[in-house]
Structure formats: C-alpha cells, structure tokens
C-alpha cells in the first residue's frame, strides 16, 4: 500500500496519524486512523467540519483503502471543536459508535447541545471578570463547524480500547479540558495524548463558565501523571504528530505555570485589578478578539488557583461591577 508520506504517518502496526488542516494558528490537528486488514476501522478525533477537513479525511481514508461508511468507532480525546467537530457527520455516514470519557460528556460534550441556553452564563462570566462588550460580540449560540454526535458511549478511566490489535488503557488527563482522555499502551510505551501535552506551545488551560473550578490545579496533576508515566513517545494533537521527551516537557510546562503563578501573585499584589486587566500583564501583546478571550480564561485559571490556595483574594467592585483580585 502506497501512503502519502506528507499526510499519513505510521504510528504502530495498523495505526496511522493524519494531519488535517484547521483554520487556526496550529494549522493542523492530528486524527488517528486504525485500519487493520479485514478488521473494523477506528478513528481517534475527527477535526472541524470544514470542506478542507472533510477532504483531508476522505483522502486519508482512501489511502488506506477505506471510506466514511467503514468507520466503526470514533474515540474523542476532548470536546474542543478541532477534535470533535465532524463527529456527527461521521456518525451519520457510518453509524459509528462515538466514545468519550464520562467526565467530558456531562459538561464539555453537552456544551454543543446547549450553546443557546448556556450563552447568557458565558457572557456574564466574561463580563464579571472585566471583558469589554466589544470582545463579547463574537459569542453566539451557534458553531457551524461543530456537528455533535447524537449518541455517546461513555468511557471510564481504567477501561481499555482496542487499537492496532492492542489494548490501550483509558486515562483521565484534565486541565486543557475537564474530561480530556488519553490512551496508554504500556507494552510499546506509547501515549495518545491529544492536547494534554504539546511540544512547541503550552496547551491552553482556561477557566470558563462551564468548567471545573480549578483547571490549572487539574493540569498540574496531569503533568505529574505524565511525568510518572514517562512514555517513550506521545502522539499529540498539534505540532507533531509524534513527540519524544514527554517527561522533560511535562517538567518544563510545570515550571512555566509556576512562573506565571508567581508573576500573577506579584501583579495582583501591586493594586486590585480585574482578571481582564491582569490578562494584559500576562499577555501584553496585541491579540484578536478570540485571542483575548483565551488570554482572559487562562489568566483566570491562574488567579483562581492562587485564590483557592489562599494566596490571593477576590472582591466584588460595586462601581465597576467586576471581580477584582488582590493580595
């Protein structure tokens, strides 16, 4: 079988990584295809619903002698649109069983079914932390690039998924998303990591209206888990598809977040400020609307982690109608 080397990367046996284009700075997202000869076809993640992504997936399947209708199961690492967007399309075309970590179903996956109902809560969350109205204009109750699945089969940490004729242990790796799933094959020391760890950028860890209260605390624990696991290689969602040095990278990311925590504690100690104002200290460069919302969410994750540790305080400012953080 001749594979287009620029698009499909062999991972393990019948398991391949496909780089699918996305209209974000990362440029591509990794979709895994497991196509054992004569066996059921599995995918891990599925990219956004865009014409370019659909074509890339179709080409990847064709390179393996398969089609949309052959997909038997689709495992989702987390609910973010670049990993989940085509799930409903694949489900409709193939009848595939869509699997997701149980922790992710109740909030993350439900988010796509409840956008309009949850939108006022999202807007209030951002406003309460100082985001100006001009940065809220893009928040709507729709996302045409996400077609959620109609039926989800829950996976639980410690269960196993079969890929490439091997058992992969289901891991819970929260932080980047509340119910972020990983798959671990101890025999080959290989981790399917999604966005839990990335080689060139720090995964966004943000506090949103619908997330767990301390996503950064969750993520620091995830980094500890990855450090202890010490896989020889990880298949990652972006800037991969495969990376080594996971243990060292986990330590590097932990140091990075501790440096940011120290910086936020110092900044909030200078004068009481909203999370939005403090986001300009943490991310001083010019950012577009969505980038500034990401910056605010990540700043909030650090501030709330410090508040929950008792190292910062939060007070409602009646005149400004925002929460301010202070020492």
pLDDT at residue 293 tops 90: yes
**pLDDT of 5:** 38
**pLDDT of 6:** 41
Mean pLDDT over all residues of the chain? 95
Beta bridge partners of 241: none
C-beta neighbour count of 70 within 10 angstroms:
15
pLDDT at residue 1 tops 50: no
Give the model's confidence band at 141: pLDDT under 50 very low, under 70 low, under 90 confident, else very high.
confident
**pLDDT of 23:** 93
Q: Structure tokens of 68? A: 């949309």
Instruction: Please state whether the predicted TM-score (pTM) of the whole model is above 0.85.
Output: yes
Q: What is the mean pLDDT of residues 39-67?
A: 95
pLDDT at residue 3 tops 70: no
- The secondary structure element, H or E, covering residue 219 is helix 215-229
pLDDT digits (tens, 9 = 90+) for 57-83: 999 999 999 999 999 999 999 999 999
**pLDDT of 185:** 98
User: Residue 168: is the preceding peptide bond cis (ω within 30°)?
Assistant: no
What residues have CB less than 8 Å from 106, skipping those under 6 apart? Answer: none
Give the model's confidence band at 7: pLDDT under 50 very low, under 70 low, under 90 confident, else very high.
confident
Beta strands 97-101 and 71-76, pairing class:
parallel
Percent residues over pLDDT 90 in the chain: 93
User: In sequence order, what DSSP letters do the residues of 195-251 get, joined into one string?
Assistant: TSS-SSSPPP----TTS-S-HHHHHHHHHHHHHHH--SEEEESSS-SEE--HHHHHH
pLDDT at residue 268 tops 80: yes
Q: What is the mean pLDDT of residues 37-66?
A: 95
- The secondary structure element, H or E, covering residue 116 is helix 115-128
Q: What is the mean pLDDT of residues 140-157?
A: 93
C-beta neighbour count of 28 within 10 angstroms:
21
Give the model's confidence band at 159: pLDDT under 50 very low, under 70 low, under 90 confident, else very high.
very high
pLDDT digits (tens, 9 = 90+) for 73-118: 999 999 999 999 999 999 999 999 999 999 999 989 999 999 999 9
Q: What is the mean pLDDT of residues 182-199?
A: 98
Residues shown for the chain: 327
**pLDDT of 2:** 43
């Amino acid at each position: 079988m001749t594979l287009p080397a620029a698009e499909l990367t062999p991972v393990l046996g019948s398991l391949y990584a496909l780089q699918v284009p996305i209209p974000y700075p990362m440029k591509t997202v990794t979709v895994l295809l497991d196509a054992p000869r004569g066996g059921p076809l599995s995918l891990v993640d599925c990219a956004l619903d865009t014409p370019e992504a659909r074509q890339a997936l179709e080409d990847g399947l064709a390179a393996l002698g398969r089609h949309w209708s052959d997909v038997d199961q689709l495992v989702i690492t987390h609910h973010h649109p670049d990993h989940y967007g085509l799930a409903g399309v694949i489900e409709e075309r193939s009848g595939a069983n869509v699997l997701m970590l149980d922790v992710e179903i109740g909030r993350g996956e439900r988010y796509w079914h409840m956008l309009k109902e949850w939108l006022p809560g999202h807007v209030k969350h951002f406003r309460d932390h100082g985001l100006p109205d001009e940065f809220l204009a893009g928040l709507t109750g729709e996302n045409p690039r996400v077609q959620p699945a109609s039926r989800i089969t829950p996976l639980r940490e410690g269960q196993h998924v079969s890929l490439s004729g091997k058992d992969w242990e289901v891991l819970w790796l929260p932080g980047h998303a509340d119910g972020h799933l990983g798959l671990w094959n101890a025999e080959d020391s290989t981790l399917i990591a999604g966005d839990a760890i990335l080689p060139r950028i720090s995964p966004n860890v943000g506090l949103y209206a619908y997330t767990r209260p301390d996503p950064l605390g969750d993520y620091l624990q995830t980094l500890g888990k990855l450090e202890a696991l010490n896989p020889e290689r990880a298949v990652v969602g972006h800037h991969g598809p495969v990376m080594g040095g996971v243990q060292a990278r986990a330590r590097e990311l932990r140091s990075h977040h501790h440096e940011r925590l120290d910086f936020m504690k110092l900044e909030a100690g200078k004068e009481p400020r909203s999370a939005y104002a403090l986001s300009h200290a943490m991310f001083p460069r010019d950012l577009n609307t969505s980038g500034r919302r990401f910056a605010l969410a990540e700043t909030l994750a650090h501030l709330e982690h410090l508040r929950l540790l008792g190292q910062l305080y939060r007070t409602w400012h009646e005149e400004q109608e925002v929460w301010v953080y202070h020492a």
